[in-house]
Structure 1
Amino acid sequence: MSRSKIYQLFTISFIIAALATFHLAIFKVGFIVTISIVFLPFFIYLKKNLGALSICSVTAFISPLVRCVTLLPQYDYNVALSMILPEIPFYLTYGLIFHYLYERRKNKTLIKFIIITIFCDYGSNIVEMLFRGGFGGISITVLKGLLIVALLRSAILFLLIISMKHYQSFLINQEHETRYRYLLNLTSTFKSEIYFMKKNMAHIEKIMGKSFEAYKMGGVENISSELRETLLNLTKEVHEIKKSYISVIQGIKKTFPELMELSDLDLKH
């Protein structure tokens, strides 16, 4: 596994562990209900390349460790340990259920994802309760409570993912709008430049024509050969300027064909 993936795994685990410090203790001593279990599947959803088993395995180590640090000032070491150890099978069970019921399946949708998180949440909590007090600690009331907790956390997860998708869509639309405005301004600039280039081309054609006429008239008027040579060179230089304009226009035409309408312009040289 790359260093980048390891860094991401530990970062996600510490975030979940930090969120787990804000919790509600219900059902049994040491058992907590926390919003962090909303963000666990959320990170699994965002970081599909990491895999649920990897995320949950690292979290199973980091989260109890962080919680142990917060409990030691209040409880004896053995008591704190007994309170946090059942969290390890919770995270491992969560990762296993998610991996086998969702990640290994081909058809993956958001609705299936949410349904699987309900199973993961509910099943993992039951496993944790079994480690805390055995079958004697599980009653109908506890099972109903765990189901309600799983449903509520999955509902929050669903709203979180939908909100994220809408926000991403909003950013994409803004980016498209910004790009469209840029292209619109670029198109306007090109068309303005092309308009003036066309005018200059027409002007160059006239100058070249007049220069060449002067060169031909020199043969009739018997002017000096030096002057005729100068007029011919001038005609050639003007022609080179014309060729440079043509090259620029053709380059723009190739790059932005929709901007160039050269049907009215003779580009032969």
Structure 2
Amino acid sequence: MFYNSQNFKQTRSRRIITAALCISLASQVNFQLFSHGFIISLAPLIMSVFLYFNTDLHPIKLMLSISIASPFFRGLLLAISNENNQNAILTFILADIAFYFVYSILYYFLYWQSESTTNSFFLLTIIICDYFSNIVETGILEGFTNYSYRLFQILFLIALIRSLLGSITSFLYHYFNLMLSKDSHERRYYHFVWIAASVKNELYPG
């Protein structure tokens, strides 16, 4: 029992580390928008897929790992490129950490502790998480000034598109897995029926 418990914890730790590395690397695929330092990346899209299929992992622990790995990679690349001063790099790193922190807190209270785990509620949750995390990230980069209605619209559109893509990917993959599992069960059932019929014919010929 103790061995199984330890093995399960190690498996969880490996998944958290794997997610942190994959999402951190995905965050490097991005383009800049609005202000210097604000980037649109694939990380939240991949993050939503990982959260959907790993409901046993504590979201705050997962996000803490990502908020360490992602800013590390970004800060390292920015430092090597010599395109920004130290204060700017520090601001970018803090904004990155804030994004994942806000995302994890919202996801934890809205979805992880909720009794409702429907697909529609999951989609709504990650839209909210992505949207408000973007607002906080932009605020840190801009000193919480220069907010506009147009900016909120664009941030919501970004959150909506990323969340839809992540959710559709998750739902379709889950659906196809269910179909394959159902087909496999049916094949085993018919195989069992065929074997049972063959045994019956051998025991009771004619």
Relative to the length of structure 1, the TM-score reads 0.68
How far, CA to CA, are the matches of 2:149 and 2:47 in structure 1? 27
**Amino acid in structure 1 at the alignment position of 2:139:** L
Verify the 8 A CA contact 2:20 2:66 in the aligned structure 1. yes
Q: How does 1:150-169 map to 2 (within 5 A)?
A: 150-169=159-178
The one of the two structures with greater contact order (alpha-carbon pairs below 8 A, sep at least 6) is 2
How far, CA to CA, are the matches of 1:10 and 1:57 in structure 2? 11
Verify the 8 A CA contact 1:114 1:158 in the aligned structure 2. yes
Superposition RMSD on alpha carbons, in Å? 1.9
| Counterpart selection for 1:173 from 182, 187, 194 | 182
Q: Does 1:186 align with 2:195?
A: yes
| Counterpart selection for 1:133 from 130, 142, 145 | 142
How far, CA to CA, are the matches of 2:202 and 2:74 in structure 1? 67
Verify the 8 A CA contact 2:91 2:140 in the aligned structure 1. no
**Amino acid in structure 2 at the alignment position of 1:116:** T
SS of equivalent residue, structure 2 residue 145? helix
| Counterpart selection for 1:43 from 10, 35, 50 | 50
Verify the 8 A CA contact 1:29 1:83 in the aligned structure 2. no
State the partner residue of 1:64. Answer: 71
| Counterpart selection for 1:29 from 25, 36, 40 | 36
Verify the 8 A CA contact 2:31 2:39 in the aligned structure 1. yes
State the partner residue of 2:114. Answer: 105
State the partner residue of 1:53. Answer: 60
Deviation string for 1:34-76 (max 9, x for gaps)? 1220121221221111121111111111111122233333125
How far, CA to CA, are the matches of 1:160 and 1:180 in structure 2? 30
Verify the 8 A CA contact 1:23 1:35 in the aligned structure 2. yes
State the partner residue of 1:122. Answer: 131
**Amino acid in structure 1 at the alignment position of 2:71:** P
**Amino acid in structure 2 at the alignment position of 1:113:** F
Identity of matched residues, %: 25
Deviation string for 1:68-96 (max 9, x for gaps)? 23333312561433323210011000000
Unaligned runs of 5+ in 2: 1-5
Unaligned runs of 5+ in 1: 200-269
Deviation string for 1:22-42 (max 9, x for gaps)? 112111111111122012122
Verify the 8 A CA contact 1:53 1:99 in the aligned structure 2. yes
Against the structure 1 CA distance between its residues 173 and 104, is the aligned structure 2 distance closer, same or farther, given a 3 Å change threshold? closer
How far, CA to CA, are the matches of 2:91 and 2:112 in structure 1? 32
How far, CA to CA, are the matches of 1:189 and 1:131 in structure 2? 72
Deviation string for 1:154-212 (max 9, x for gaps)? 1112211221122112211221232023213312320232135xx8xxxxxxxxxxxxx
